[in-house]
A and B are shown apart, each in its own frame.
Chain A
Amino acid sequence: MSSLAEYAWLVPVFPAAAFAALTAMGRGAGRAGAWIGTLASLVSLILSLLIAGQRLSGTAEEYSNHFDWIQVGNTTLPIGFEVTNLTSLMLVVVTLVSFLVNLYSQGYMKDDERISTFFAYVALFSASMLGLVLSYNLLTMYIFWELVGVCSFLLVGFWFRKPEARAAAKKAFIVTRIGDLGLLIAILLLFWYMPNHELDFTNLHNVFGTQTGVISTGITTLIALLIFLGAVGKSGQFPLHVWLPDAMEGPTPISALIHAATMVAAGVFLVARTFDIFHASQAAMDTVAVIGAFTAIFAATIGLAQNDIKRILAYSTVSQLGYMMLALGVGSVSAAMFHLFTHAFFKALLFLGAGSVIHSVHTQDIREMGGLGGRMKITAWTFGIGALALSGIPPLAGFWSKDAVLTAALDGHPVYFVVGVVAAFFTALYMARLFFLVFAGKPRGDAHAHESPAVMTIPLVVLAVLAALAGFVQTPFNGWFGEWLTGEAEQEHASGLVIIVSTAVGLLGVYLGWLIYAKGTVRRDIVSSRMPGVVRLLERKYYVDELYHYVIVKPLEGLGKLLIAFDDYVVDGAVRLAGMSASAIGRLNTRLQSGQVQGYVLTALIGLVILALAVAGRRFW
């Protein structure tokens, strides 16, 4: 029986074809364009499910195929695809969220006049992301890595008439470019140092995983750190996290698809895919763990003090990605991928729920919302499930995956564990704040809130079910998922301590949030009145943006002005000089062109004499 994996390359082809079709049809496609995009994503989803299903049976071999793309001298640059358990899992996650977001957008973007452009971009993004997931070597991956970056740029700036959207799109693109540059250098270094210039993941695994010593530790660390820089940019880790909250200027379904479930997880996926390189360098592993842990708690504290519903979720995403990095840093790929898996569902759910709310009340400020629970029952319930899952309340998906991460962290270093637990507490607290302010209490704004149409609520329900149940693929009592994913049995360490502590902090956070924001037993300004400085610090997001503004942007602007001055006076001066001399020669030519043929012949004769004297005459002096 032929393996379906051989046809895995078709998965990205469908959305790519949809993109081509939508682009060809132009704006006239309208609603039909939306259905083309949705249909393509559905076909991809079905194919991905079949591929993953075949792999689940456990018999299928890993399949990879490639062709030589460029041949320069003795070096070939192949591109190709590869299907492993890890990639098939990612295929399902990406196509599923992509399909649901497509469906949801049918309602959310209904009145936008550029709806078919939107669906074209989404299709291009899906194709690129699937290509990234399927890549068989780093080169292929890098191409798609850049493509998803472009799509992110296009979609964040989709409402380009808003100056904030334009600025956010630029910021997202430029900040992630910093990381991309690191990744590019890492790929070049690998190309240089790898035997035969091989860049495919199998060879990377062989060289870094089994044949130690082929590449020196110093270079390995350097390469790993540069790859991680790419991941930091894409996954919004400190200190390159600044673009992700601003990227919320894009349409909300995009925030769900790109900036919560898939693209931002590409950084985690990249590290997981090249994990052998990291594993070969303890310094790199420690860096990943420290950055991950720091980002987790750092972003969670900022999330406590934000008032924009999407920004809170964005900081939450940054924080949760930090958890995944932490898990990778302490050596547990399976915990990281598990958290990525569950996070994709509940965070997409939360964003789509937030979108539903925004769609209904036309504001993003949670202080102007309230009491929506009664009028938007499906949204409220599903959002609640997502919030609980994120807060790590058993038995929802987020609990199990966060538990796996925390268990791995405890194995690594107690400090990581403590940081993770504190961040989990903050997570529960800010989600409780968000939920109760939006859905409980009395209505604050004057909006006529109403439930969203079915195309928007069905994805919410599907995701809510997944957010509730997806965690059961791996529990401390059932290590099936990790075994399937990494091919080796995880040693069983159901840590009662971790379960109890994480459940406790989750419940404590939710309870405290309920007390403050729903019941009102604890005054809201209890912290801000006593420590206004701290709150201000959090509200201003630790002044990181301001810091960058003064430390990086301003000096660069100064440098730019200097260069402009140089350009204006020195370069342009030279250009003007060249231009002037060219037109002077031209004028001379015009004068020669008198129309008198005897003049022409005389010029020719003088030309001959001068030429002959100048070139040959010197021989006869």
Chain B
Amino acid sequence: MIHLPTLTWSDAWYLAPELTLSIFAVVLAVLDLFLPRSWNRNIIGWLTLVGLASAAAFVVWLMIDFKNAAAAHPEDPTAAFRNLLGGSYRIDDFGNLLKLVFLGASGFIVLSSLGSVRSSDIPLKGEFYYFMLPAALGAMVMSSSGDLITLFVGLELLSITSYILVGMRKRSGLSAEGAFKYLVAGGVASAFVLYGMSFLYGVTGTTNLAFIGEGIPAAITDYRALVYVAFFLMTAGFAMKLALAPFHAWAADVYQGAPTPVTSFLAVVSKGAAFAMLYRIFMNTAFFAKDDPFVQKDLYLGLSVLAAAAMIVGTAGALRQRQVKRLLALSGVANAGILLTPLAIHLTPLHSSLFSEFVYYLIAYAFMNIGAFAVLTVVSRGSGNESLSGFAGLYYRAPWTAAGMTVLLCSLSGLPVTGGFFGKLFILFGTVQTGAYWLAAILLVTTVVSYAVYFSFIRQMYMRSGSDDSSIRIPGPAGVTIWLCVAATLALGFLPKPVLGWIDALFSIPADFLAR
């Protein structure tokens, strides 16, 4: 019988970011009920932003706290993380970094939708804003769990909230269809994950990731086939969540149906959270399967194959796509493949920087996607449709936005000097270091092919003239978001070293994944 510890006040301090979000979510929900109808719901949006910002501030505080603790006790490997609730929840730099990314991304998305979301499209604007909070909370739980059950709870919190968010455009058939498909696909994915987890529990007798890691070698000797089943089921479930080919088919429909800010949330935060969970599980369990000559290799090979398939299918599919959200969904498929690559080539003495590579590209990916979706929001408002031809003549209608979009597209296609370029470059370096040349080749070839995808935007913006040549009005918050994203993308391109150095300094695999 496992003794279950209870939450103490000192633990609550470590949970401050999560608690902040919960409190804001509840308070805003109540506030939305009591606010008179005549009040603009943008106030809820701004308060959501405040909630996200204060949670982020707490995360930063905790990170500083850990850094000081680690500096004060360099001999103590447990100084820089904290196990709560019997190891089912852990606060460490891995989680904190990703939480910052999720909170920042959610904040940018809320900011970009302020003033761009119209009541005719989304009747319940208040809900639209404050549902971002539990969604972000789910993502945070996923990045910070040390137990299969907590992980799953986080996953469901995020998923269920996002089903609702996708269906926010109540008057749109596409939105309802998207929400339904997302629900079905997400449910199937959760079923896969849960089924896999149950096998893992079955062969190791525990749900705690650290104990699973300890039990894995024995489990492999006894039940090798079941270990395979467990991991492949979980992999398939996560592949659906991440929209890796061939598990991606739902993504295009859902992205198209969802309100654009939600699409951007799905592309960045949901995807990032699923990655966080994948990292947690694989680094704590499959990593310890190394005694067996095959199992660990096969599991990572499975991930590599998925990454390669995602890059190829996503890029090739995007080539033929003319609907921008579907195009970006497929681009997201390809990018998920790229983001999976550092994990798929796994940790070896040659390749210890997998997490830095992943987070660097995740940050770059977050900025370029949020920026691109924000541009899409203003452009589709201006042109009335979401097809590629809506970008026609953008250079003449909104020259600065066109210039910003060009930077974001360069980043998406991996051209210097942008964050996307260095992100891909670092991942490529890692791939070559470990000798996975075939994966490096696929990464390079799909990158080159993707130029054709992203340059079709540039061709539209600069070389086609639209039917309408009136200038496009850019709402203030959306403009700020776009330019912050552009600036961040360029900053990541001009100063890759400081960012990478910062991540490296914060994060170490033994302390942040493996120590208990």
Contacts and interface: CB of A to CB of B under 8 A. Distances in A.
B29 interface: no
A590 B249 CA distance: 9
Nearest to B183: A597
Given A583-B320, A585-B313, A601 B302 contact: no
A593 B320 contact: no
B184 A601 contact: yes
Given A607-B236, A616-B228, A585 B181 contact: no
Given A582-B319, A611-B306, A616-B228, A597 B184 contact: yes
Nearest to B189: A604
A186 B187 CA distance: 68
Contacts of A612: 228-229, 232, 302
B250 A600 contact: yes
Nearest to B297: A615
B225 A597 contact: no
Contacts of A608: 192, 232-233, 236
A586 B320 contact: yes
A619 B298 contact: yes
Contacts of A614: 305
Interface in B184-211: 184-185, 188, 192
A593 B330 CA distance: 11
Interface in A330-384: none
B316 A585 contact: yes
A26 interface: no
Interface in B214-247: 224-225, 228-229, 232-233, 235-236, 239-240, 245-247
Contact of B301 (A578, A585, A604, A615): A615
Contacts of B236: 604, 607-608, 611
Contacts of A597: 180-181, 184-185, 250, 253
Contacts of A601: 184-185, 188
Main secondary structure of the interface of B (DSSP, over half): helix
Contacts of A454: none
B249 A593 contact: yes
Contacts of B330: 589
A590 B180 CA distance: 20
Interface in B289-337: 294, 298, 301-302, 305-306, 312-313, 315-320, 330
B252 interface: yes
Interface string A15-37: 00000000000000000000000
Interface string A570-601: 00000000100011111101101101010111
A620 interface: yes
B149 interface: no
Contact of A615 (B192, B224, B233, B298): B298
A486 interface: no
A210 interface: no
B69 interface: no
B449 interface: yes
A305 B132 CA distance: 85
Contacts, number: 93
Contacts of A595: 253
Interface in B265-298: 294, 298
Contacts of B246: 592, 603-604, 606-607
B298 A593 contact: no
B194 to A, nearest CB: 15
Interface residues of A, number: 28
B305 A589 contact: no
Contacts of B317: 585-586, 589-590, 593
B189 to A, nearest CB: 8
B37 to A, nearest CB: 36
Contacts of A584: 316
Nearest to A612: B232
A587 B320 contact: yes
A585 B333 CA distance: 14
Contacts of B232: 608, 611-612, 615-616
A114 B266 CA distance: 53
Contact of A607 (B184, B247, B312, B320): B247
Contacts of B449: 578, 582
Contacts of B184: 597, 601
Contact of A583 (B185, B235, B252, B319): B319
Nearest to A610: B246
Contacts of B305: 611, 614-615
Contacts of B240: 604
A71 to B, nearest CB: 13
Contacts of A599: 249
Contacts of A606: 246
A616 B316 CA distance: 27
A604 B252 contact: no
A197 to B, nearest CB: 24
Contacts of B180: 597
B252 to A, nearest CB: 6
Most chain B CB inside 10 Å of its own CB: which residue of A592, A608, A614: A608
Interface string B22-37: 0000000000000000
B249 A600 contact: yes
Given A597-B181, A603-B249, A604-B236, A582 B228 contact: no
Contacts of A611: 232, 235-236, 302, 305-306
A590 B316 CA distance: 10
Contacts of A587: 320
B253 A616 contact: no
Nearest to B312: A585
B316 A586 contact: yes
A601 B240 CA distance: 9
A616 B185 contact: no
A619 to B, nearest CB: 5
A203 to B, nearest CB: 32
A587 B315 CA distance: 12
Most chain B CB inside 10 Å of its own CB: which residue of A586, A589, A608: A589
B163 to A, nearest CB: 13
A590 B298 contact: no
Nearest to A601: B188
Interface string B150-181: 00000000000000000000000000000011
A427 B313 CA distance: 74
5 contacts: A582-B316, A585-B312, A601-B185, A601-B188, A619-B298
Interface of B: 180-181, 184-185, 188, 192, 224-225, 228-229, 232-233, 235-236, 239-240, 245-247, 249-250, 252-253, 294, 298, 301-302, 305-306, 312-313, 315-320, 330, 445, 449
Given A589-B313, A608-B192, A612-B229, 16 more contacts: A582-B319, A589-B320, A590-B317, A593-B249, A593-B317, A597-B180, A597-B181, A597-B185, A599-B249, A600-B181, A603-B249, A607-B239, A607-B245, A608-B233, A608-B236, A611-B306
Interface of A: 578, 582-587, 589-590, 592-593, 595, 597, 599-601, 603-604, 606-608, 611-612, 614-616, 619-620
The 6 closest A-B pairs by CB, nearest first: A585-B316, A589-B317, A600-B249, A607-B246, A608-B236, A586-B320
